[in-house]
Amino acid sequence: MLICPLDYRYGRKEMKAVFSEENRLRTQLLVEAALARAHAKLGDIPEDAAEIISAKCTPEHVKLERVKAIEAETKHDVMSMVTAIAEQCGEAGRYVHLGATSNDIVDTAAALEFKDALSIIERDLDTLIITMSALAFKHRRTVMMGRTHGQFAIPTTFGFKVAGYISELLRHRERLREIRPRVCVGKMSGAIGTGAGFGEKFFQVQELVMRDLGLGYEEAATQLVNRDRYAELVFVLGLIATSCERYATEVRNLQRSEIGEVAEAFDAKKQVGSSTMAQKKNPMLSENISGLARVVRSYLAPQMECMVLWHERDLSNSSAERFILPHVAVLTDDILAKMNDVFAHLSVNERNMRRNIESAKGFMMAESVLLALASKGLGRQQAHELVRKASMKAEEEGKGLKEALKANSTVRKYLSAKELDSVMDPDNYVGKAPEMVDRTIARAEATLGRKII
């Protein structure tokens, strides 16, 4: 019986595989093998014993089913694996797990999982950045209404809106790279982190193991790798998921019937929007992203609580992290893939963008008029008050702003009819938006090290 939606509805195979039972065993076996090799290199155990242990520390020899069978009796997951390894190694089995404690294996294996997961997330970000860059460039001059407080503000371009998303994703990519050396960290320091179980060669053992596995190490561990590292990982993935929710929410709003400026792709031949309202085309992917993002960031609180353990450790973090870490990674990967799908196939309705601008009757050009009057010599505050009063009066009378301004003697004194037409043309008031799109794409290309456009 399947209960968790990750098992039957959400998530992609590659990321799920990273946090699978099979991969957990595989990575823990890699750690045990690296430990044996380190001991052999330092002369603690025979080299042929390390060779045997390394050869046998694979899922082909140490079967998950056998580990589980032993655990059913011992009630200890790591010791069950150690026993299963020893069974395969003959005389060399007595050297397995020498000097280590369970979390030397568990936390170091988790760091290997994080390493793979972060590589997948970075690849997802790169894919989304490339998709958004193509969309931003295509619409760098596509003028649309900018909105603040849900109200018409001033014109912008759709490409510039997307460029803001790209810039944010580039920061997330930078964050991922920054946290990698802090998150991909193991330990091989024994029961409470002092290294006592490894004797005088402790520092060499830990350094050799982590170098072998391509990881950093906790310099002053307790029995665990310190959980601020895990909390930072969850926080950064939560940030990424929440950014995607921001973009998805914009798509959802712009797809509203009364706005209709963008829309998710919809297969009219097969796709169903509603079980009863047959006409519906809903932004279902974007809504899905919004819901999953809320789940991702909800895991930050319990992961932060996992930082607070009794003395050198207790077990209250373990059960929680078995839920937190796979769910956060799998769902963030799923969210990024869906976000890329949304933007790769997004329908942009330029006609409706123009319609919505025209429906504003020129009121969104008030700032442009104000600044034009100020540039002609009218005081800035005077110009503001003039345009404000003209706007209020025009709205009350059901007129457009341009009509009201053309009837104003002060405006006529400073601006000719032709100048007012130019000042109130939305296409002339998008500032440097197209150029900022180009700069953002250039930065993305430099960061990713490839040509995008």
Same domain, 318 and 174: yes
Q: What is the mean pLDDT of the chain?
A: 95
Neighbours of 71 (CB within 10 A): 17
Q: Which of 39, 80, 119, 274 is catalytic?
A: 274
Q: Which CATH number goes with the domain that contains 206?
A: 1.20.200.10
The residue range of the domain holding 19 is 13-95
pLDDT for residue 282: 85
Of 59, 76, 95, the last residue of a domain is: 95
| Three-state secondary structure call for residue 166 | helix
| Residues 437, 431: Cα–Cα separation, whole Å | 12
| Domain membership flag for residue 443 | no
Active-site residue flag, 80: no
Q: Which of 61, 133, 139, 149 is catalytic?
A: 149
Same domain, 212 and 233: yes
pLDDT digits (tens, 9 = 90+) for 1-34: 889 999 999 999 999 999 999 999 999 999 999 9
Q: Which CATH number goes with the domain that contains 50?
A: 1.10.275.10
Which structure tokens are listed for 297? 């960031």
Above pLDDT 90, what percent of the chain?
95
Answer whether residue 150 shows pLDDT above 70.
Answer: yes
Same domain, 141 and 28: no
Number of domains in the chain: 3
Active-site residue flag, 274: yes
pLDDT for residue 26: 98
> Is the Cα torsion angle 13, 18, 20, 25 positive or negative in sign?
positive
pLDDT digits (tens, 9 = 90+) for 245-255: 999 999 999 99
**H or E segment to which residue 216 belongs:** strand 216-217
Closest by CA to 193, choosing from 114, 112, 103, 108, is: 103
Closest by CA to 145, choosing from 348, 366, 358, is: 358
| Residues 355, 293: Cα–Cα separation, whole Å | 33
pLDDT digits (tens, 9 = 90+) for 211-237: 999 999 999 999 999 999 999 999 999
pLDDT for residue 269: 60
Above pLDDT 70, what percent of the chain?
97
| Domain membership flag for residue 450 | no
Instruction: Read off the pLDDT band of 278 (50, 70, 90).
Output: very low
Name the H helices within 156-299: 158-183, 202-213, 228-254, 284-298
| Domain membership flag for residue 339 | yes
pLDDT for residue 342: 97
Closest by CA to 24, choosing from 95, 98, 107, is: 107
| Residues 336, 129: Cα–Cα separation, whole Å | 10
Same domain, 55 and 180: no
| Residues 88, 94: Cα–Cα separation, whole Å | 11
Of 68, 95, 122, the last residue of a domain is: 95
Dihedral in degrees, nearest 10, Cα atoms 254, 255, 260, 262: 80
| Domain membership flag for residue 45 | yes
DSSP 143: E
Same domain, 183 and 289: yes
Least reliable range by pLDDT among 36-40, 121-125, 262-266: 262-266
| Residues 57, 432: Cα–Cα separation, whole Å | 60
Say how many residues make up the chain: 453
pLDDT for residue 316: 95
pLDDT for residue 275: 47
Same domain, 43 and 79: yes
Same domain, 86 and 167: no
As a whole number, mean pLDDT of residues 360-389 equals: 94
Closest by CA to 346, choosing from 185, 165, 168, is: 165
pLDDT for residue 281: 73
Q: Which CATH number goes with the domain that contains 413?
A: 1.10.40.30
Instruction: Read off the pLDDT band of 277 (50, 70, 90).
Output: low
Least reliable range by pLDDT among 2-6, 52-56, 82-86, 115-119: 2-6
Same domain, 50 and 86: yes
| Inter-residue contact 426 to 354 (CB < 8 Å) | no
